Structure 1
């Protein structure tokens, strides 16, 4: 188990990571997300031993590294996968994966498992981006790391390839049975691939939990907004139910919320109609998404809500519509700001 306790990192007088605490199971994948500059990559560098820590400790198996007694990077047995692949351009695929390996059987295993067997004699310049990332992952896993750090490994790939390769990487990490921390800017990637998600803000871990919990029961408004489209509107919470102008729904109180609250509404929590006289808002803008359409509706009460519906439901901006809460699952309620 990888255990990080009260880990802090300073750059001069500026604290960029503040008292990070987390523990990963033997084959657990933690997705680390947050805005640019929040400390995600700094955390990876600190865990790898590439930068010094100011406080706290990192423990894995028999070794512990602290601010006073840091463990050298080469003694941590960490594997790293980068967004720029970091392959040796003058070496073949097989030579890249087998670099400094005495026993090449593991290189053979991972090349085969990741579908790169037939490219053994190919040099990186002749590979696609997805193939290069498979080689980088095979090289990492062939060296039997104790844990793996992935720094936005899919950011340089096109959208279609990202969707398939993320699952290949997850499957390979699970097969290897090693804990992994995966930094990404892609919220969909974080929610779909990780066993848990950690959301950072200004070097502080705002929430670490399952993807479902982070999305449906965010610990703060920041987490709610960062992990998807989030709208808030007033309501009253009493006996587990929220009463709003557009419907009543069950509630999940956040931080003891009660009475007058702001309820978190996702675009899928609503229905949209323009075929009756009970309209309560006007469409401000519309976005076609292929299989769906996303609308922003300015409510008559002054609030704006976003709603996602089938692509077959087409309205023009300026259309008067009715929005109704139709979800049956509890919605997160926050104390009124």
Structure 2
């Protein structure tokens, strides 16, 4: 088990990570997300021993690192997977994966599991981006690390390949039964792959929880907006129900009591009807998404909400429409801003 307690990291006089607490059980995957410069990659470097920590500790059981007790990277048994693959160009796939291994049996297992049997004798320059990342992952797993750090491993790949490879990586990590921290900028990737998601802002964890809970019950407005389309509408919260100008719904208070609140609406919580007679808003923009359309509607109360509808529903900016809340799950409500 990987345990991180009150970890802080300074660059000179600037604190870039502040009092980070997290723990990972065997085979758990934690996705770390946040805006550029929030400290995600810095955390990985500190856990790997590549940069010093200023406060707190990292404990894996076999070793413990503190500001006064530094453990060298080569002593930590940590595997790292980078976005640029970091393969040896002069070695073939087999040699890259088996580099510095005395027993290659485990390497053969990962070569087979990750579909690399036909590429054993190929050099990295002849491989696709997805194949290179499979090689990098196989090399990491073949060395039996105690935990794995992945720094945006899919960022250099095209969208179609990302969708397949993310699940192959997850399957391999689960097969290895090793804890992993995976840094990404892709919210969809984080929500779909991780056992838990950690959202960072300016070096501080805003929330660590299951993907479902982070998305539906964000701890604050920043998390809500970072993990997907988010609209907020004024409401009145009483006895686990919120009433708004576009309907009522079950609700759960995040940081407030009964009374005036702001209600978090995801696009799937809002239905849109093309009915000018019942109009309570005007479409301001529409984005075609393939199987659906994402529509923004300015309500008569001047609040902007988004609604996701079937691609068969064709609306255009300027259309008068009727929108209403349509959900059976509780909506998150917050203290009125």
Q: How would you bin the TM-score normalised by the shorter chain?
A: over 0.9
How far apart are residue 270 of structure 1 and its match? 1.1
Task: Give me the whole-angstrom Cα distance separating, in 1, the residues matched to 2:42 and 2:258.
Answer: 38
State how far apart, in whole Å, the 2-side matches of 1:316 and 1:17 are.
Answer: 45
Matches within 5 A, 1:68-107: 68-107=68-107
Q: Secondary structure at the match of 2:278?
A: coil
**Match in the other structure for 2:279:** 279
Contact 2:276-2:320 within 8 A present in 1 as well: no
What are the within-5 Å matches in structure 2 for residues 35-74 of structure 1?
Answer: 35-74=35-74
**1:323 corresponds to which residue?**
323
Question: CA offsets, 1:214-236, max 9 Å, x none?
Answer: 00110010000000000001000
1:31-62 per-residue CA deviation (whole Å, 9 max, x = no partner) reads 00000000000000000000000000000022
Contact 2:239 2:258 in 1 (8 A): no
Residue-pair matches, total: 337
Q: Distance in 2 between matches of 1:10 and 1:188?
A: 30
Q: Which residue of 1 aligns with 2:239?
A: 239
Aligned residues of 1:197 and 1:210 also touching (Cα < 8 A) = yes
Matches for 1:161-200 after TM superposition, within 5 Å: 161-200=161-200
CA positional deviation for 1:269: 0.3
Quick one: distance in 1 between partners of 2:313 and 2:66?
Answer: 57
Secondary structure of 2:130's aligned partner: helix
Q: How far 1:275 moved relative to its partner?
A: 2.6
Mapped to 2, the partners of 1:12 and 1:314 lie a distance apart of 55
CA distance in 2, matches of 1:322, 1:256: 30
Partner of 1:307: 307
Query: In the alignment, which residue of structure 2 is the partner of 1:145?
Result: 145
> Which residue of the partner structure matches residue 249 of structure 2?
249
Instruction: Kindly indicate whether the alpha-carbon contact (under 8 Å) linking 1:254 and 1:333 is maintained by their aligned counterparts in 2.
Output: yes
User: 1:255: Cα distance to partner?
Assistant: 1.8
Residue 276 of structure 1, CA deviation: 4.8
User: 5+ unaligned residues in a row in structure 1: which ranges?
Assistant: none
Deviation at 1:313, TM superposition (A): 0.5
Q: TM-score, normalised by structure 2?
A: 0.99
Distance 1:15 1:94 in 2: 42
Query: 1:130 offset after TM fit, Å?
Result: 0.3
- Given that 1:258 and 1:335 are in contact with CA atoms closer than 8 Å, whether structure 2 keeps it comes out as no
**Larger displacement relative to structure 2 (64-73 or 253-262):** 253-262
* Secondary structure of the structure 2 residue equivalent to 1:131: helix
> Structure 2: how far apart are the matches of 1:13 and 1:278?
59
Check conservation: 1:215, 1:227, Cα contact below 8 A: yes
SS across alignment from 1:242? strand
What's the offset of the Cα at 1:258? Answer: 2.4
Measured against aligned partners, the alpha-carbon deviations of 1:99-150 in whole angstroms (never above 9, x if no partner) come to 0000011111100000001100000000000000000000000000000000
Superposed displacement of residue 10, structure 1? 0.2
Q: Which residue of 2 aligns with 1:129?
A: 129
1:288 matched residue in structure 2: 288
Gaps of 5+ in 2: none
Distance 1:40 1:88 in 2: 26
C-alpha deviation, 1:256, in angstroms: 3.2
Matches of 2:101 and 2:258, distance apart in 1: 60
Partner deviation per Cα, 1:143-166 (whole Å, 9 max, x = no partner):
000000000000000000000100
Q: Work out the CA distance in 2 between the residues paired with 1:102 and 1:322.
A: 68
CA RMSD of aligned residues (A): 0.6
Alpha-carbon distance in structure 2 between the residues aligned to 1:7 and 1:243: 42
Aligned: 1:117 with 2:117: yes
8 A contact 2:275–2:320 mirrored in 1: no
